[in-house]
Amino acid sequence: MAHMESDRRTGSPESSRFWLSNKIQFNISFNGKVIAGLIFAGLLLSWEMAAQFGVISPLYFPPPSFILQKIGSLLTNGTLISNTLITLARMLIGLVIGGSLGLVLGLVMGWSDRFREVIDPFVAAIHPLPKIAILPLIMVIFGIGNLSIMIVVAAGAFFPMLINTMSGVVQIHPIHFDVAKNYQASSMKVFQRVILPGSAPSILAGLRLALNTTLLLTVAVEMVSSISGLGGMIWMAWTTMRIEEIYSSLVVITLFGILINVFLMLLTSWLLPWQEKRSS
Amino acid sequence: MNPPHSTEIYADHITKHYQSHNGQVYALENVNFKISAGEIVCIVGPSGCGKSTLLKILAGLIEPTSGQVRFSNGSNDSGIRTALIFQEHGLFPWMTILDNVAFGLENLGVGKIERQQKTQTFLEQLGLGEFSHYYPSELSGGMRQRAVIARAVLVEPNLLLMDEPFSGLDAQSKLVLQEEMLHIWKTFQQTVIYVTHEIEEAILLGDRVLLMTGRPGSIKEEIEVLLDRPRDLRDRDQPFVRETKWHIWKAIEGQVRQSLHVSG
């Protein structure tokens, strides 16, 4: 009983105390992230062992240490870095162009009911089309190359930004506009103090979708239309059966995805401090 | 802060119809009244009698179908500053209390440093100083509503319009805030129109009570409140309050029952 009481006094909800004997005690922190890390390391280790001892075919599942070596050599000869930068550039340029057009149009459509009524049917018609499907047409018009890739990527960023921004503005509680009007706020002030911050959570959700879509689209488009970039690299590796290179590209793309999410988390806590406080 | 100039208001044959999904709604029909400068008038009536619509028309947020609102200088609204206080959601959730309360001053073109100092000082007078960097979601409903009132009072309005400002609060917070309102009105002496569905509150706060009934919304009766000022919560027990309360209730009871489909 005495032990349990001391436990209650000192133990945080995340840690628990195990009594191995009367004298020795361990504090094990039940931190979810630590456990996830341990599981991840365990999986890698089992993969390594299984591939090394021939339980699984090292041809299809090369051991992680081989993949790491391959990444090292691809890094030193510059292939990985240049292809990563190419993919990053295509993705970001497409995102900035398509995303900012979507943002601006979304704000205007959210603000003006009349404008929204006119444009909405067009958005509804074009939006469901998988953007990868327009690539052949774009290549016919603009030729094979970076321009076509970035146009498709931009189209992929445009719609999630547009739709989320628009709905973000539309769902702002009408009372906020009444308050602004009552205090005779100028249109500029309404935009700055009501529309932008009021729709910001939804805009950020749109940005998240746009980032994921553009990453997917850039890699997919590179696979079918380019020999450069991470997508092109994967495709080349597949056609020449360089399995370790496929894995190397996948690792980099995974890191991309993780970085995107970290970036979004930082951006959210910077732009929406009022939402963080509400959830905590 | 000097007491601002209050204003007289004339509501001149105000009628408001609008189209809804269920057809034409006669929100207001031929509403007339005059409110003297510095007077506190409570508008009381059952839900849906059009009192919020009337307040929005007085605030200039919506246009009447016919009729007009005139202020003492004869114009429509030039030079008249109205501040409207809503039931809830009056604060911007994305701004700190300081920025919210300073919002009125911000739109009057007061510079950032000056308006922040002025606002902080006022918040401290109200006892909210230490919460100026909190977000609205971190404060209780009563504190939020006090911040809304602070924002309105800071722009020194000629006319203060309040739309059931305490209806979302618990009964005890409401008592304290009603008393605070009595104090603020005494200090600033603006003209006040206070909309409520609570009969006792209307009698306790107002110089005059306008009794509204719905479908179509119109002023049914005017009641002069014969209570001395300053008033406090103990005035609830005065015979005048009790008698008037039942008088008003009789006048609106039928409509309340009807709206709830209670027979008899």
Q: What is the mean pLDDT of each run of 10 residues along chain A (280 residues)?
A: 41 43 53 88 94 89 92 90 94 96 95 92 91 91 92 95 96 93 92 94 95 94 92 93 91 90 91 70
Question: What average pLDDT does the segment B49-53 reach?
Answer: 87
Inform me whether the pLDDT recorded for B170 exceeds 70: yes
CA B133 remoteness from chain centre: 27
Query: Cβ(A254)–Cβ(A261) under 8 Å?
Result: no
- This prediction has a pTM of 0.80
For residue B227, what pLDDT band results from cuts at 50, 70 and 90? confident
H or E, element range at A82? helix A79-111
Does the CB of A96 have a partner CB in chain B at under 8 Å?
Answer: no
Shortest distance, CA B144 to any CA of chain A (angstroms)? 14
Q: Are A260 and A211 in contact (CB under 8 A)?
A: yes
Interface ipTM > 0.90? no
Query: Which of A182, A200, A274 is closest, CB to CB, to B135?
Result: A274
Output the furthest CA–CA distance in chain B (Å, rounded): 62
For residue B136, pLDDT over 70 is answered with: yes
Considering only CB atoms, B61 lies closest to which of A173, A182, A277, namely: A182
Q: Which of B185, B225, B219 shows the shortest CA–CA distance to B207?
A: B225
Going by C-alpha positions, the residue among A201, A169, A172, A166 that lies closest to residue A275 is: A201
Identity of the amino acid at B149:
I
**pLDDT band for position B157 (cuts 50, 70, 90):** confident
pLDDT at B125 over 70: yes
Q: What is the pLDDT of residue B235?
A: 85
**CATH architecture, domain B9-81+158-260:** 3-Layer(aba) Sandwich (3.40)
A187 touching chain B per CB within 8 A: no
Q: Residue A141 in 3-state DSSP?
A: helix
Whether chain B has a CB inside 8 Å of the CB on A22: the answer is no
B86 vs A175, A193, A198: nearest CB: A175
CB atoms < 10 A from the CB of A241, how many? 9
Query: Is residue A176 helix, strand or coil?
Result: helix
For residues A211 and B48, the model is more confident at A211
pLDDT value, residue A2: 41
CB atoms within 10 A of CB A38: 10
Q: What is the model's pLDDT at position A92?
A: 95
Task: Provide the edge-to-edge strand list for the sheet that holds B9-20.
Answer: B23-35, B9-20, B66-71
Q: How far apart are CA B44 and CA B29, in angstroms?
A: 16
Domain extents for chain B? 9-81+158-260, 91-155
Interatomic CA distance for residues A16 and A10, integer angstroms: 10
- SS3 percent helix, strand, coil of chain A, rounded to 5, is 80, 5, 15
Q: What pLDDT does A30 receive?
A: 64
What strands, in cross-sheet order, belong to the sheet with B218-224? B82-85, B159-163, B191-196, B40-44, B208-213, B218-224
Residue B82, strand partner residues:
B159
Quote the CA–CA distance of B142 and B153 in Å, as a whole number: 17
pLDDT value of residue A155: 95
Q: Which residues pair with A36 in a beta bridge?
A: none
- B45 exposure class (CB count in 10 Å sphere: 0-12, 13-18, 19+): buried
Q: Chain B: give the shortest CA distance to residue A268, in Å.
A: 13
Q: Do A272 and B56 touch (CB under 8 A)?
A: no
What average pLDDT does the structure give for chain B? 87
Task: Give chain A positions within 8 Å (CB) of B106.
Answer: 189, 193
